[in-house]
Structure 1
Amino acid sequence: MMDSGIVNILVDISLMTLLVITAIGIVRSRNLFATAMLSGIYSLISAAVFVTLDAVDVAFTEAAVGAGISTVLMLGAMTLTRRSEKHAIKLHVGPLLVTLGIGAALIYGTVDMPPFGSTDAPGFQHIVPEYIAGSRDDIQVPNIVTSILASYRGFDTLGETAVIFAAGIGVLFLLGRRREDEETDDETVSGKGEDA
C-alpha cells in the first residue's frame, strides 16, 4: 500500500501537469469559444489544487467565480466578437524576455522563503495567533476561516463581490447595446425595402 504522502505528491504533480497543458491550450487556441471553455477548465483544476492544499473555501470561490461566472461573462462577451482571431499572433521577443525576467525574479524571491507549512514562517508567528485568539474571543465564530473572510477581510470580500457585479452589469450593457444596434439595422433595411 502506498504512503499517503506519496499519493498527495502524485496528485499534485498530476494537477500541475493538467494546469500546464490547459495553459498551453489556451495560448495556442485561435478559437474564442475553445479559449473560454479551456479557461473554465483551468479554473476547475485550480480549484482542485486548492482542495489538495486544504483551502476548501478558496477552492469554492475559484470554482464559482473562475469556472462559473467568468466563463459565462466570456461567453456573453463573445457575442460581440468573431469566433476566431483574424490574424495569427507574431511572436515578439520583448514581451517574452520581460516575462522570463519577471518569472526568474519571482523564483529567486522564493529561495529565502521558509518551507511550505513551516511553523517558523512569519505569518504563523505574528498574524495567525492573533486571528485564532480574535476569532475565539472577539468574533466568537467557531470556524476561523469564516471569521477571517467575513470580519478581518470583510472589505476585501465586499470589493471582490463589487468587481464581479460590475463585470456582470458591463456584459449586460454590452449585450443590450448590440441588440439595439441589430434592431436599428433591421429597421433601416426594412425601411429601404418599403421605399423601393
Structure 2
Amino acid sequence: MDIVLFIFLVMTAFAVVRTQSLFATAMLSGVFSLLSALLLVTLDAVDVAFTEAAVGAGISTVLMLGTLALTSRFERPPSHSPVIPLFVVLVTGAALVYGTLDMPNFGDPNAPAQTHVAPDYIGRSPHEIDVPNIVTAILASYRGFDTLGETAVVFTAGVGVLLLISGLRRRRRKEKEDV
C-alpha cells in the first residue's frame, strides 16, 4: 500500500509540474496533500496526517483558489531562463540530503529517540499525566505549546481565507455597481 501511494504521489507531483492551468495545479496540489495524508496514516502518524489534510489539502487549496479568483487562470510564459531557479533548487536539495546523512535508520532501536526520549516518556507519563494513551499525553501535555502553535497556524490560515473571501465579495459587488 505504501508503494502504491508513493507512486501516486510521484505521478501527481509530475502532473503539477507539467500542467499549464493554474486551476488544475491548485486541485492537483490538494490531491497531493490528501495522498500525503493517506501515506502518513499508513505509517501510523495519524496526528501528522490530520494536520496535512487540514492545512495542506484544506486551507492551502482554498487559499490558492482564492488567489486564482484574483489573478489569471493560466500560467504566463517565463520571462527569464529557468537555470538560476533550477540551480537554487538543486543546491537546496543537496544541502537537505547532506543534512540527513548522519541520521539513524528509520526504526533503528538504538537511535537516541528510542534509547533516551521514548523510555523517559513511557516511564513518566502514567504517573505525571494519568492519561492511558502515551501519544495523547505527549501531544497534549509535554508538547502542549507546540500543539497550541499548530492550532494557532490553522486558525490564522482560516482567518486569512475568510478575509480573502470577504475582500473578493466586496470587489465583485463594486465591479457590478460600476457597470
For the aligned pair, the TM-score class normalised by the smaller chain equals 0.7 to 0.9
Give the direction of change, closer, same or farther, for the CA distance of 1:43–1:89 in structure 2 (3 Å limit).
Answer: farther
Query: Is 1:122 matched up with 2:112?
Result: yes
Structure 1 outlier segments of 4+, above 6 Å: none
2:24 is matched with 34
In the TM superposition, residue 79 of structure 1 has moved relative to its aligned partner by 1.9
In the TM superposition, residue 88 of structure 1 has moved relative to its aligned partner by 4.5
How many residues align? The count is 179
1:94-146, CA deviations, whole angstroms, 9 ceiling, x for partnerless residues? Answer: 22122222222322333332221011111112221222223211111111111
Query: Is 1:95 matched up with 2:85?
Result: yes
Q: CA RMSD in A?
A: 2.1
In the TM superposition, residue 90 of structure 1 has moved relative to its aligned partner by 5.2
Who wins on radius of gyration, i.e. which is larger?
1
Bigger RCO of structures 1 and 2 (CA < 8 A, at least 6 apart):
2
CA distance in 2, matches of 1:59, 1:168: 18
CA distance in 1, matches of 2:35, 2:81: 28
1:183 is matched with 173
Query: Is 1:55 matched up with 2:59?
Result: no
Secondary structure of the residue that 1:134 maps to in structure 2?
helix
Query: Is 1:174 matched up with 2:164?
Result: yes
CA distance in 1, matches of 2:175, 2:4: 51
CA distance in 2, matches of 1:121, 1:53: 18
2:146 to 135, 146, 156: 156
1:8 is matched with none
Give the direction of change, closer, same or farther, for the CA distance of 1:171–1:69 in structure 2 (3 Å limit).
Answer: closer
Structure 1: segments with no counterpart, 5+ residues: 1-10, 190-196
1:113 is matched with 103
2:9 to 9, 16, 19: 19
Equivalent residue letter for 1:28:
R
CA distance in 2, matches of 1:71, 1:33: 10
CA distance in 2, matches of 1:30, 1:170: 26
Identity %: 61
Structure 2: segments with no counterpart, 5+ residues: none
Contact 2:59 2:157 in 1 (8 A): no
